[in-house]
Chains A and B, each alone.
Chain A
Amino acid sequence: MKRTLLEMIIVVLFGTLVISSVVTGVFDEPKPGMFQTMGRPVRLMDLPDTMLIVPPLHNVKVGKITLNDQDFYLVLGQDGSGRDVITFDCNNNLNLTDDSSGNLLLSYEGRIVKLITNALVRYGTDVFPYYICILWNTENGSVVYFGLTRREGTLVVEGEVFHAAIAETDSDGVYNKENILLMVDLNRNGRFEEHEVSPRILQISGRFYEVDEVAKNGSSVVLRETEDKILTPVLGEKLIIPELSLTDMEGKPVDLGSDEWKLLYFEPLHRERSERTLTLLKELSQIKGFQRIVFLALPEEGCCQDSENTFFEQLKKIKGLQVVTLNMERALSVMEKLSLISPETFMIISPENKLIYRTPVAIITDQLIWKAVAVPLENPKMFLGSF
C-alpha cells in the first residue's frame, strides 16, 4: 500500500515537472502582414501546361507557385490600357477571372509590379489562406514571391495566457520548426517587440523555451524548456549571459559577465566603414567609466586581407580593448546567442549585468510588409555624454 502511494506520488511529481517544462500555443485564422520572408523564383511559361481561364491581357506569361505541394497559377500581361498587371488564382480553380476579392493590393514601385494576394491552401481537410507578395521586375522579366502570413493566437505558460503569433519564413506554405518566427507579447503592451520575437528560443518568465513541435498548417506549437540560452535584451533588466567561450586576438578569454562596466560593440566589417569604426573605438577607449570594451568583428570574406591586417594592428594599440574576430560560421551562432544586430550593435552592461543601453530596434507594422530596423548610432558622443 505504502509502495503504491509512493509510486503515485513519484508519477504525479514527474508529470508536474514534465508539464511545467512544456508550453503550448494555439493559433487562429491566418492574417496578412509579416516581415519579408525568403524569396522564391517563379518559373515562367509562354503557354500554361493546363487549361486556364485567363482575363483578356496582352503579352501573357504564365507562372506557377507551389504551396504545401499544391500548384497555384499566376498570369502576367498588359491590360487594354497597356498597364502591367498580375493576376493570381487564389482559389485554385484554374479560373483567374474570379479572384478579385482575394487580391489585396496591386502596386507599382519603380520597375517592380507588386501584388499582395492569398492562396487558399489545403492542409488535410482544412483550407487556410496563405498570404503572399509577388514581385515582377518588368525590366528583366523575372518574378519572385515571398510569404506574408502570420497566424495570431495565444501561448499558455504555467497558466498565464499571452497574446502570440507564428509565421513561417521559407515561403513554402509549410510550418516547421526550422523555418518559423514566433512572437509573444510578454509585457502585454499590445505589440511585439524585438526581444519578443524569435526564430528558435524565447525567454519567458526567467526560463528558456525552445520550439519543439509545430503543426504543418501553423495552428499549434509546443515549446519545451531548454538549457540553451540566448541573451534577452530588455533595458534595465539583469541579463542572463550565455556561455560562449570567446577569446580575443591574443588568445585571452573574454568574460562578458564580469562584475565591471562593459561595453560590447559588434560590427560586420566593410572596407568603407573601417575608418569610422577605428575612430569610434579610440573615442570609446578614452572614457574612464568602461573597464572592459569588447569589439566583436566579422571580417569580410575573400576581400581586402591586407587592409584588414593593418586595421587589426591599429586596433591592438587601443588600450583596454579586446578584439574578437568571428568567421561567418561562428558569427551566426554568436549573433543569435547575444542578440546582435547588423549593421552594428552597442551594449552597455553594468557590473550587476543590467542592460543599460542597447542599439534600439524599431518594429514597424503599419504596412503589410513589416519592418524591423536597427537604429544605428550616428553620433556616439550623444549618449556617451550622458553616461
Chain B
Amino acid sequence: MRIFLSLTVVLLIVTWGFGLMGGTDVLNAQAPFYDSKYPLFATLKDRGPLIDDPGCFVTFCWMHYWGDFRWYLEGKAEHYSSTGVPLSVTLSLSIKCVHPIFRYTLCSSSAAFSGLGQVSGSISCYPAGDAAECYKSCLCSN
C-alpha cells in the first residue's frame, strides 16, 4: 500500500512537470511574463526579465552634402520587444563640420527625437561647403 501511494505521488509530480514544459514554450511566444500557475517554477521565471527587451537599434544613419553650404544627417532608430510590442525610443543626432585641414569648427547641430517603436529625424549643419569634413553621431536610448 505504501509503495502504491509513493508511486502515485511520483506520477502526479511528473505529470505536473510535463504540463509546465508546455507552458514554458507558450511563455516564449505570447504568454504573460508572470505566470503563477505552476508555483514550483514561478521562482525560476522571476529571475528572467519582466519584458523580453532586446534594446534599441539605430537602423539608419546617413550624412550627405545637400548643396548650398548645407550638410544633412538623417537617422532612424527602432525599439520593439521580442514580441513586437513598440517601446519608447529616443534618437539623438549630432553633426559637426570642421575645416578639413585646420580643424576649427564651421558649424554644429544636434537634436533628439522621441517616439514609440520607430522614430526618425534629420538635422542640418549650415554653413559648411562641400570640402568640409563632417562627423556624425546617431545614438539611441530606451
User: B139 interface residue, CB < 8 Å from A?
Assistant: yes
Contact A38 B131 (CB under 8 A): no
* A329 smallest CB distance to B (angstroms): 11
Q: List 16 A-B contacts (CB under 8 A).
A: A36-B127, A110-B67, A137-B70, A144-B127, A194-B101, A301-B139, A302-B61, A302-B138, A304-B61, A341-B101, A342-B100, A343-B100, A369-B129, A371-B131, A372-B100, A373-B131
Interface string of B49-69 (1 = CB under 8 A from A): 000000000100100000111
Contact B104 A38 (CB under 8 A): yes
Contact A301 B137 (CB under 8 A): yes
Bound CA span A197–B103, Å: 12
Q: Within residues 102 to 161 of chain A, which ones have a CB less than 8 A from any CB in chain B?
A: 109-112, 135, 137, 139, 142, 144, 146
* Nearest opposing residue in chain B for A369, CB measure: B129
Given A35-B99, A110-B67, A199-B102, check contact A301 B135 (CB 8 Å): yes
Set of chain B residues within 8 Å of A51, measured between Cβ atoms:
none
Bound CA span A361–B128, Å: 19
Bound CA span A323–B87, Å: 38
User: A5 interface residue, CB < 8 Å from B?
Assistant: no
Within 8 Å by CB of B101, from A38, A268, A374, lies A374
Within 8 Å by CB of A303, from B68, B101, B132, B138, lies B138
Contact A303 B102 (CB under 8 A): no
* Nearest opposing residue in chain B for A110, CB measure: B68
- Residue ranges of A at the interface with B (Cβ–Cβ < 8 Å): 35-39, 109-112, 135, 137, 139, 142, 144, 146, 169-170, 179, 181, 194, 197-199, 268, 300-304, 328, 332, 335-336, 341-343, 361, 369, 371-374
Set of chain A residues within 8 Å of B135, measured between Cβ atoms:
268, 301, 328
Within 8 Å by CB of B103, from A300, A301, A332, lies A332
Pick the most buried of A179, A302, A372: most chain B CB atoms within 10 A of its CB: A302
Bound CA span A328–B58, Å: 19
Contact A37 B101 (CB under 8 A): no
Contact B58 A144 (CB under 8 A): no
Contact A35 B102 (CB under 8 A): yes
Bound CA span A39–B127, Å: 6
Give the number of chain B interface residues (Cβ < 8 Å). Answer: 28
Within 8 Å by CB of A335, from B103, B107, B126, B128, lies B103
Set of chain B residues within 8 Å of A328, measured between Cβ atoms:
135
User: B81 interface residue, CB < 8 Å from A?
Assistant: no
Contact A300 B136 (CB under 8 A): yes
* B22 smallest CB distance to A (angstroms): 36
Interface string of B101-142 (1 = CB under 8 A from A): 111111100000000000000000011110111011111100
Contact A37 B104 (CB under 8 A): yes
Set of chain B residues within 8 Å of A144, measured between Cβ atoms:
126-127
Contact A111 B68 (CB under 8 A): yes
Set of chain B residues within 8 Å of A369, measured between Cβ atoms:
129
Set of chain A residues within 8 Å of B68, measured between Cβ atoms:
109-112, 137, 139
* Nearest opposing residue in chain A for B105, CB measure: A38
Bound CA span A110–B131, Å: 18
Contact B107 A39 (CB under 8 A): yes
* A277 smallest CB distance to B (angstroms): 16
* A372 smallest CB distance to B (angstroms): 4
Given A112-B69, A135-B69, A302-B139, check contact A199 B103 (CB 8 Å): yes
Set of chain B residues within 8 Å of A342, measured between Cβ atoms:
100, 133
Bound CA span A103–B58, Å: 47
Bound CA span A321–B140, Å: 34
Set of chain A residues within 8 Å of B103, measured between Cβ atoms:
199, 332, 335-336
Set of chain A residues within 8 Å of B106, measured between Cβ atoms:
36-39, 146
* Nearest opposing residue in chain B for A146, CB measure: B127
Set of chain B residues within 8 Å of A374, measured between Cβ atoms:
100-101
Bound CA span A37–B107, Å: 9
* B141 smallest CB distance to A (angstroms): 11
Set of chain A residues within 8 Å of B136, measured between Cβ atoms:
300-303
Bound CA span A181–B105, Å: 12
Contact A169 B104 (CB under 8 A): yes
